[in-house]
């Protein structure tokens, strides 16, 4: 089973249909609107604009598990992201990424090591997972890793569909 087989709702209801991303590279990011890392939305949106036509998308996954930094409703989250950062990439429903209520999307993701070898629970908002076109996890990036670093863009470029 790959992440493309996981069922998750879209931010404003209905299925987010991850199967539509099969054959594409996807950067899955747990996001929050009231975090010190929230300005990363700008870099994520620039990645979306830069690589979308080459078979890539960012997938934002709102989560309120880290100091209540994503308290808003679906409409409030969508409005904030659009108005403040011009976000055009898809967003899922708000989910839990850690603990007994961990969403199935994150069940396998947390077992993948980042460049320093860390595996396990999501550490904070804006932890990133690059999913290869075949649905395998190609890379994991710490929350503080800015979206447009050479480390992230290099991994994206390496995993874009041929």
Task: Kindly name the residue from 8, 35, 142, 160 that is annotated as catalytic.
Answer: 35
Pairing assessment for the beta strands 56-62 and 25-31 based on DSSP bridges: parallel
Please give the angle made by the CA atoms of 104, 82 and 21, to the nearest 5 degrees: 40
Beta carbons of 57 and 48 less than 8 angstroms apart: yes
Question: What single DSSP character describes residue 76?
Answer: H
* Residue keyed to tokens 């539509």: 20
35 is catalytic: yes
Catalytic residues: 35
């Amino acid at each position: 089973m790959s992440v493309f087989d996981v069922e998750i709702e879209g931010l404003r209801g209905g299925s987010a249909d991850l199967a539509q991303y099969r054959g594409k590279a996807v950067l899955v990011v747990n996001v929050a609107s009231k975090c010190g890392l929230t300005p990363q939305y700008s870099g994520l949106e620039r990645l979306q604009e830069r690589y979308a036509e080459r078979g890539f998308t960012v997938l934002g996954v709102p989560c309120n598990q880290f100091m209540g930094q994503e308290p808003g409703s679906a409409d409030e989250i969508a409005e904030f992201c659009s108005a403040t950062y011009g976000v055009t990439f898809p967003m899922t429903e708000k989910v839990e990424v850690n603990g007994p209520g961990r969403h199935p999307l994150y069940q396998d993701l947390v077992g993948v090591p980042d460049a320093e070898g860390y595996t396990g629970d999501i550490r904070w908002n804006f932890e990133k997972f690059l999913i290869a076109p075949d649905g395998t996890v190609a890379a994991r990036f710490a929350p503080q890793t800015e979206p447009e670093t050479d480390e992230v863009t290099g991994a994206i470029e390496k995993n874009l569909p041929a």
